Amino acid sequence: MGHERIGIYPGTFDPVTNGHLDIIARATRLVDRLTVAVAANAGKGPLFSLNERVAMVEEVLAPLTARGARIEVVPFSNLLMDFAVQRGASMLVRGLRAVSDFEYEFQMCGMNSRLNASIETVFLMASEGCQFISSRFVKEIGRLGGDISGFVPASVHRHLLTRFAELDAQAGTGEVS
């Protein structure tokens, strides 16, 4: 057997959405092994901690891995290209939802190829029905009591409802979080 193709799908996954799952499932068909790289991104002030996000991604990927997909979920806080080299990856996978994603991704891709030209960036277009899903919108809509059950896996929906209830309880007691 030849060289194993390892891909990396990086993101904050705060929280993981049906759009992310769609890209992950499709990416597993392009590589022998996929690393879902969960970024620490403390600067973004995530709703869930790094450990919580890793656990949620692992939880929702269990059916895929049970069907034989070789996926590992790994947290990272260093430069993505350095992380890719450490993992022996030859490919970065990124999802594109709309034209608005393109400019940012295009710049990132250019910078990453300057840092390491041997790692290819592959873009997968969001599937129909996933094009408008973003973690940010899911959090905003869910926080205001909107129905987000169609945008995230059931287990993630439960985690979100629990977290929103915790935040409401904190707000009710006047605690500063």
Confidence of residue 131 (pLDDT cuts 50, 70, 90): confident
Please tell me whether 80 is known to bind a ligand: yes
Mean pLDDT taken over the chain: 91
How far apart are the C-alpha atoms of 175 and 177, rounded to whole Å?
6
The pLDDT of residue 106 is 86
Please tell me whether 26 is known to bind a ligand: no
Please tell me whether 79 is known to bind a ligand: no
State the CATH architecture for 6-172. 3-Layer(aba) Sandwich (3.40)
Paired residues of 127 in beta bridges: none
DSSP state of 122: E
How far apart are the C-alpha atoms of 10 and 116, rounded to whole Å?
16
Whole-Å CA distances, 4 to 30, 83, 90 = 11, 17, 9
DSSP state of 32: S
Domain residue spans of the chain: 6-172
Please tell me whether 151 is known to bind a ligand: no
pTM above threshold 0.85: yes
Residues marked active site are found at: 20, 44, 97, 135
Q: Is the bond preceding 10 in cis, omega lying within 30 degrees of 0?
A: no
Take residue 172 and report the two structure tokens written for it. 């009710």
Segment 147-164 mean pLDDT: 96
Q: At residue 148, does pLDDT exceed 80? A: yes
